[in-house]
Amino acid sequence: MAQQRFVWPLISFVFVFGLWELAGRWPISLAFPPFSKTALALLRMTVDGSLPKAYLSTLQPLVIGIVLCGIAGIGFGIGMGLSRTIEWFSLPIFIILQAAPMAAIIPLITYIYGIGLTAKVLAVVVLAAPVVVMNSYKGIRNTNASLVQMCRAFLGTRRQEVVKIILPHAGALIFAGLRLGLAMGFIGIVIAELMITPTGIGDLISYHSSVADYPEMFAAIFSIIALAALAIHGLERLERKLFPPEIRGA
Amino acid sequence: MPAEAIVEVRGAGKSYDGTVEALRDVSLALPQGGLSTLLGPSGCGKTTLLKIIAGLIPPSAGEVWVKGKKVDGPGPERAFVFQDFALLPWATVLRNVAFGLELRGVTPEQRHDIARGYIEKVGLKGFETSYPHQLSGGMRQRVGLARALAVDADIILMDEPFSSVDEQTRRKFQEELLDLLKIERKTVIFVTHSIEEAAYLSDQIVLLSPRPGTVSRIIHPAIERGGKNPDEIRRDKNYLDVVDEIWQILKRYVV
Amino acid sequence: MVLFGKRVPIVFSLVIWFVVWELIGRAKLSTIVPPFSDVVAAGMTILPTEKFSAAAAISLRSFALGMALALGIGIPLGVAMARVAGVGKLLGMWVNIFVSAPISALVPILMAVIGVGEATVVVTVFLFAVFVIILDTQVGVRQADRSLVEMARCFGAAPYQIYAKILLLSALPEILAGVRLGVIRGVKGVVIGQLLIALLGVGELFELYSKNFLMEEFWALVIVVFMFAFLLSEAVAFVERRIEYYAGAR
């Protein structure tokens, strides 16, 4: 049975990569290389070190940005869920920001903070923060009312209510917010590097595109999407391990 | 009054948003050591009344006195058993049963000792490390009951504790509850919508009329329980009369 | 928030933020924050201009076309994935990957293959919106009430009737949730696509304003675009709530 689990993903990979190969060989466009050439380019770029080097400068702002969101964003979201006053002041803003195309701010960030690390970190934070804050807030506000009442009936203080009931209950949603924030962070870092800074994976994509090295460009894009998918999948696995659905108490 | 009243409700009323009136002018005296049932159709405010006694909901009129003190919130002499169990899904049976003591700052060794005793009393020995999702509905409510017993309150307030439990489990549980209460000597206030359950368990039955809830009648079933087994009680003439008497009153409220 | 014994509606907190914004602008704390009143004035002057209406028209057209494609392909595909086991298994993994992958990284590919024009933005919108629509449709159809389907069968419903009268209607709340998320992502897609191309629609305006440091105009445009995104998602949410009202009896 263990082998069975891998059969469909395998067929699925073969199906999509096969279509890609056919489309590239046909070709649908001169700028559309087949899968095999892209894979070779990916191998080449990994071996010659250009890809690992690019990732070093791409992942640094991403990690810093997500950690910042994790601390400040979750903290603020929890505050918003616990305090009616903070909620009153900030909920409408975050509801709008969550629906808004925050990427529009990125050009402004460039022209203030230049093209350095700060600008990239800000791009990640601006895109990731709304969903991190809103998820933490929702996690706190969705607390099972009956559990809170139970805590009060057994003479729990407000502090105990928050520490022993509300926070453990909100844990799963808060963590899911971090995962969604990471997905937004990847979008932010890619836009930032494509638009602003000629460094990292974005530079690799723009450079190879400008000199018409399409297999290399595809390989760079393929790698960032694969990395994002793996990172998010990893967080999802961790989430299910830390907060199995049956003990979440939704 | 068969015994001294431990809980007194004086003219209690509750309305929500000033418009929906759930309870009106309810006055009751509940005897110490007895099992009193609040019985009525859905929407008669019986759960509201129980939560007012628990101190979880403030009344909009009147007051509640427990052991000579006016209620202005939950207190250590009252423990609550919830209709939906209200167990922490991320905590084991042991921690759930000990949770009331944990909130009071009892040390882990002490509270786990006490909890183990009550887990055994409610028949869950061996399930200490299980999680609520691994238990059946009936077993979960045993955890809820053990938690209420563990804090050693004089009064146990039970809000339709068996309504999410199947009929067989429910009967078994009722019989065990009576046995347990004989030993533990608690005052129990019990909310239910089951006529048979009220007649079978209670020393005193408070019938509530629907919307707004008012006391419609108070019945003291004179069922001789001494020495009889549960099946004999369920065939007892007095028991059947009480069931019929209640039904004659309540069927007026059913549309 | 309660002031002088009266409950103040939460939207009024936005007014306070606008006042704070005005004060910061008046105090000249930062060159990127002009007073809010100046932003509104700038908005009044740019809104009637031909340049703005042309940009808005292009952006709206790309958005509408991309969303139409996403709905037209996403919903049937979601239904197929839920009802045909093979399709679900073949594509499920890819939908899951791309629903949270940085689609923004694909824009350079689109620019290379399709060209630097409106079509690229249309496809960007489509890619941003389609995956979440597929995913939610699939979830909705899978969760459709079995007993309703059995009831329809018992009364002799033909397969197409089961789809039209039971499955799609039963899945409507989830489909609409997917559409709302798709709309939000679609707006982000328009902005990101046009920003990366930098020659089209509102993306071009954002670039233009921030490059020439026209902060009043820049913020006015941000407010217009954010409000558009918010109102559009609220409009879908309104329909969603109506449907949920009917679905309440499920």
**How confident is the model over B102-125, as a mean pLDDT?**
89
Residue B153 CA to residue B145 CA, distance in Å, equals 12
**pLDDT beyond 80 at A120:** yes
pLDDT of residue C1: 61
Number of H helices, E strands in chain C: 12, 2
Provide CB contacts within 8 A for B168, sequence distance 6+.
Answer: none
When CB atoms are compared, the residue of A144, A149, A156 closest to B103 is A156
pLDDT of residue C182: 94
Residue A57 CA to residue A54 CA, distance in Å, equals 6
Which residue type occupies B31? Answer: P
Residue C75, domain CATH = 1.10.3720.10
**Cis amide prior to A9 (ω within 30 degrees):** no
Distance from CA of C195 to the nearest CA of A (A): 8
Residue A162 CA to residue A169 CA, distance in Å, equals 10
Is A211 at the interface with chain C, CB within 8 A?
Answer: no
DSSP secondary structure string for all residues of B31-74: ETT-EEEEE-STTSSHHHHHHHHHTSS--SEEEEEETTEE-SS-
The domains of chain A are located at: 56-197
Helix (H) / strand (E) containing A157: none
Length, in residues, of chain C = 250
Is C123 at the interface with chain A, CB within 8 A?
Answer: no
Nearest 5°: the CA angle C32, C38, C40 is 110
Q: Are the beta carbons of A152 and B74 separated by less than 8 Å?
A: yes
pLDDT of residue A238: 92
Residue A122 CA to residue A62 CA, distance in Å, equals 10
Residue C179 pLDDT level (bands cut at 50, 70, 90): very high
Residues of A in contact with B76 (CB under 8 A): 155
* Number of CB pairs, chain A paired with chain B, less than 8 A apart: 60
The share of chain C scoring above pLDDT 70, in percent, equals 95
**How do residues C180-233 score in pLDDT, each as one tens digit?**
999 999 999 999 998 888 778 888 888 888 888 888 888 999 999 999 999 998
Instruction: Give the ipTM of the model, two decimals please.
Output: 0.89
- List residues bridging with B31 in a β-sheet: B5
Q: Are C176 and C240 in contact (CB under 8 A)?
A: yes
pLDDT of residue B67: 85
CATH class of the region A56-197? mainly alpha
DSSP secondary structure string for all residues of B156-203: EEEESTTTTS-HHHHHHHHHHHHHHHHHH--EEEEEES-HHHHHHH-S
Candidates 3.60.150.10, 3.40.50.10420, 3.40.50.300, 1.10.20.140; correct CATH number of B1-77+155-255? 3.40.50.300
Distance from CA of C59 to the nearest CA of A (A): 13
CA-to-CA separations, A211 to A27, A39, A205, B66, B254, in angstroms, rounded: 19, 19, 10, 85, 82
**pLDDT beyond 70 at A83:** yes
**How confident is the model over C228-247, as a mean pLDDT?**
84
Helix (H) / strand (E) containing B209: strand B204-209
Nearest chain C residue to A190, by CA: C105
pLDDT of residue B1: 41
Length, in residues, of chain B = 255
Q: Are C175 and C240 in contact (CB under 8 A)?
A: no
Residue A192 CA to residue A187 CA, distance in Å, equals 9
pLDDT of residue A250: 46
The share of chain B scoring above pLDDT 90, in percent, equals 7
Residues of A in contact with C113 (CB under 8 A): 28-29, 31-32
**Other CB atoms within 10 Å distance of the CB of residue B93:** 26
Name the domain count of chain C. Answer: 1
Average model confidence (pLDDT) across chain B: 84
- List residues bridging with B157 in a β-sheet: B80, B189
**Cis amide prior to A27 (ω within 30 degrees):** yes
The pairing of strands B35-39 and B204-209 is parallel
Nearest 5°: the CA angle A202, A208, A211 is 140
Neighbours, chain A (3 or more CB pairs < 8 A): B, C
- Which residue has better confidence, B67 or C125? C125
Residue A143 pLDDT level (bands cut at 50, 70, 90): confident
Residues of B with CB under 8 A from a CB of A: 54-56, 73-76, 78-80, 82, 84, 86, 88-90, 99-100, 102-104, 131, 133, 147, 151
Mutate one of C210, C227, C238 to test the A interface: name it (highest A CB count within 10 A): C210
CA C242 to chain CA mean position, Å = 19
Structural domain for C92, as ranges: 49-247
Q: Are the beta carbons of C104 and A99 separated by less than 8 Å?
A: no
**How do residues B201-224 score in pLDDT, each as one tens digit?**
888 888 888 878 888 788 887 777
- Which residue has better confidence, A3 or C9? C9
**pLDDT beyond 90 at A219:** yes
B5-31 burial code (b ≥16 CB/10 A, e <16): bbbbbbebbbeeeeeeebbbebebbbb
**pLDDT beyond 50 at A71:** yes
**How do residues A146-161 score in pLDDT, each as one tens digit?**
999 999 999 999 999 9
Which residue type occupies C122? Answer: V
Name which of C45, C43, C51, C52 is nearest C219 in CA terms. C43
Residue B94 CA to residue B115 CA, distance in Å, equals 6
Residue A117 pLDDT level (bands cut at 50, 70, 90): confident
Name which of A16, A42, A3, A18 is nearest C93 in CA terms. A16
pLDDT of residue A3: 63
Nearest chain B residue to A152, by CA: B74
**pLDDT beyond 80 at A198:** no
**pLDDT beyond 50 at B2:** no
Q: Which range is least confidently modeled, B16-30, B150-164, C210-224? A: B16-30
Provide CB contacts within 8 A for C143, sequence distance 6+.
Answer: C171, C174
Q: Are the beta carbons of C102 and A225 separated by less than 8 Å?
A: yes
Sort A95 into a burial class: Cβ within 10 Å, 0-12 / 13-18 / 19+.
middle
**How do residues A1-53 score in pLDDT, each as one tens digit?**
456 678 888 888 899 999 999 988 887 888 889 999 999 999 999 999 899 99
Is C1 at the interface with chain A, CB within 8 A?
Answer: yes
Mutate one of A83, A89, A141, A235 to test the C interface: name it (highest C CB count within 10 A): A89
| Torsions phi, psi for A108 (to 5 deg) | -65, -45
When CB atoms are compared, the residue of A147, A152, A246 closest to B56 is A152
Q: Which range is least confidently modeled, A178-182, A219-223, B157-161? A: B157-161
pLDDT of residue C3: 66
